[in-house]
């Protein structure tokens, strides 16, 4: 991925001196998040937008090739970035430190913050081919030195260890009070209560279990009680007029008046012969019997006709069958007569109306709006910005206006922690005459964001650099 690697102009000068017997000493390894045109790499004197310093893993020479090993880790890195440049700093036997060689990636290498990916590291080797004998040395930090093989072995051993190699405790993860017991094996404790009370959301299990136990015990005893525990009366079930008498008792109370009323006539006195004649001649046309055969046939016809009559021949009323209070209304009519009061009484509460639902939806819409990004400043970089207290994260967008070139919008600066002081450096080089380098400063006590005046902005001036700040609650 480091497809563009060159020895800088300053590095070439060091090599020239080394060819005369001098020594080149590697002094530092630095990474950056900036880029320049490939044609400008050799003239670069420093890594663009420096983010980290790496450690030198050693310098070796094989024939005409010099290998310089470097290591980068994210230990102590609070925010991730895209690594686009790697630079080797060195000095000769005399003189000061210079940028010796630099590699630039087109795509960049994403470097995560330590909190996002602990123990991340990057090993990279620079290979420099020479035609003459050049001596190069390096100052190796013993604390940061590790071979790739050693690092890989240690990493594999660590990642393969599933027995809590860091000795994490349940208290450290916020579970100090959780017992090491399966869910089905837990044994909650509680104190009995003597008063039936409604369960409340958020109350302790020990209190809830006491309420539940009493409720279940009461229910079991209630279900086992067959002696009318609710004191139901015969009137409540629509039998208020029914006497507590057996059918035998009621039959014994039957009178002659009851019979004649039920029949609608007074039956003849007992005459065995007459009754037998009527019985034997009900279907005969003979007329010389106590009851004429014609009369008997007519009686039989009337009885048959009465039997098949299903149109209430006796004029039975709804009161007689115990439905005196029932109104002659269809179910559709009854449903249409239901009122708000009927519904509230049946539910035990008043349901929400359309206005209530509209208010809830408006509240949800407002909540979603509060979580959206909002523009809180749009002006010149030189202006001081105060971040309102309700915003917990911001995005800064900087645009540079060049007099004889296209406007350039720099990568956005994302800040998710407004509780500390911070400085952010952003820079851009258009050509040898037009470049900009800016240091943004934030004071968390005053929540003020401004350009640090100790840094410089050159051609164009700060008045030609605009800034837009977006905030989210």
**Average pLDDT, integer, range 71-91:** 94
Sequence ranges of the domains in the chain: 4-153, 374-472
From 166-180, 204-218, 282-296, the region with the lowest mean pLDDT? 282-296
Average pLDDT over residues 101-125: 91
pTM of the model: 0.34
- Token code pair at residue 350: 């008043």
pLDDT of residue 9: 94
pLDDT at 458: 57
Contact criterion met (CB below 8 Å) for 442 and 448: yes
Contact 146, 55 (CB under 8 A): no
CA distance 174 to 183: 18
Q: pLDDT tens digits, residue range 250-294?
A: 888 888 888 888 888 887 665 555 545 555 555 666 666 566 666
Q: Strand pairing of 448-451 and 422-429?
A: unpaired
Task: State the Cα–Cα distance between residues 285 and 297, nearest whole angstrom.
Answer: 7
Q: Which residues have C-beta within 8 Å of that of residue 245, sequence separation ≥ 6?
A: none
Backbone phi, psi, residue 62, to 5°? -125, 115
Residue 214 three-state SS = helix
Which of 127, 130, 111, 107 has its CA nearest to residue 119?
A: 111
- 3-class SS of residue 262: helix
- Which residue, chain included where needed, has tokens 């629509």? 238
Alpha carbon distance 12, 98 (integer Å) = 11
pLDDT for residue 144: 42
Q: Is the peptide bond before 131 cis (omega within 30 degrees of 0)?
A: no
Token pair listed for 305:
């006709």
Distances in Å between the Cα of 467 and the Cα atoms of 84, 270, 375, 395, 473 are 25, 123, 11, 10, 20
Task: Give Cβ neighbours of residue 31 (< 8 Å, ≥ 6 apart).
Answer: 47, 50, 51, 52, 53, 54, 72, 83, 85, 86, 87, 111
At residue 134, the pLDDT reads: 56
Both structure tokens of 146? 């590790």
Letter string b/e over residues 332-353, b meaning 16 or more CB atoms within 10 A of that residue's CB: eeeeeeeeeeeeeeeeeeeeee
Per DSSP, the three-state class of 74 is: coil
Residue 455: pLDDT above 60?
A: no
């Amino acid at each position: 991925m480091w497809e563009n690697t060159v020895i800088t102009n300053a590095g070439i000068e060091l090599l020239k001196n080394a060819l005369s017997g001098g020594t080149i000493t590697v002094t530092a390894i630095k990474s950056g998040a900036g880029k320049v045109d490939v044609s400008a790499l050799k003239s670069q004197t420093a890594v663009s937008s420096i983010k980290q310093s790496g450690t030198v893993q050693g310098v070796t020479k094989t024939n005409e090739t010099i290998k310089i090993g470097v290591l980068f880790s994210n230990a102590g890195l609070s925010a991730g970035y895209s690594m686009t440049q790697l630079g080797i700093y060195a000095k000769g036997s005399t003189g000061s430190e210079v940028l010796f060689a630099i590699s630039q990636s087109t795509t960049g290498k994403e470097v995560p913050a330590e909190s996002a990916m602990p123990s991340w590291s990057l090993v990279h080797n620079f290979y420099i081919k020479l035609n003459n004998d050049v001596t190069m040395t390096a100052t190796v930090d013993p604390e940061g030195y590790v071979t790739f093989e050693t690092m890989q072995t240690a990493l594999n051993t660590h990642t393969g260890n599933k027995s809590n190699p860091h000795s994490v405790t349940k208290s450290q993860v916020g579970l100090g009070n959780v017992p090491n017991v399966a869910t089905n094996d837990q044994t909650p404790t509680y104190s009995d209560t003597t008063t039936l009370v409604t369960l409340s959301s958020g109350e302790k299990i020990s209190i809830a279990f006491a309420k539940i136990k009493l409720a279940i015990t009461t229910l079991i005893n209630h279900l086992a009680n067959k002696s009318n525990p609710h004191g139901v009366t015969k009137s409540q079930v629509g039998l208020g007029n029914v006497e507590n008498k057996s059918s035998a008792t009621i039959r014994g109370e039957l009178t002659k008046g009851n019979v004649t009323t039920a029949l609608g006539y007074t039956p003849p006195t007992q005459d065995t012969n007459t009754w037998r004649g009527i019985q034997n001649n009900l279907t005969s046309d003979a007329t010389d019997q106590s009851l004429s055969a014609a009369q008997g046939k007519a009686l039989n016809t009337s009885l048959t006709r009465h039997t098949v009559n299903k149109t209430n021949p006796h004029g039975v009323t709804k009161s007689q069958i115990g439905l005196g209070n029932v109104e002659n209304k269809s179910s559709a009519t009854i449903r249409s007569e239901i009122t708000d009061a009927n519904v509230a009484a049946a539910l035990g509460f008043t349901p929400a109306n359309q206005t209530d639902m509209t208010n809830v939806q408006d509240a949800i819409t407002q909540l979603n709006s509060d979580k959206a990004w909002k523009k809180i400043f749009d002006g010149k970089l030189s202006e001081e910005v105060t971040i309102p207290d309700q915003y917990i994260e911001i995005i800064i967008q900087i645009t540079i206006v060049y007099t004889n070139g296209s406007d350039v919008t720099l990568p956005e600066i994302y800040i998710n922690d407004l509780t500390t002081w911070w400085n952010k450096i952003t820079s851009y080089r258009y050509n040898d005459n037009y470049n900009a380098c800016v240091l943004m400063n934030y004071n968390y006590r005053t929540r003020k964001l401004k350009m640090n005046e100790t840094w410089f902005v050159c051609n164009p001036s700060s008045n030609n650099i605009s800034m837009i700040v977006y905030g989210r609650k």
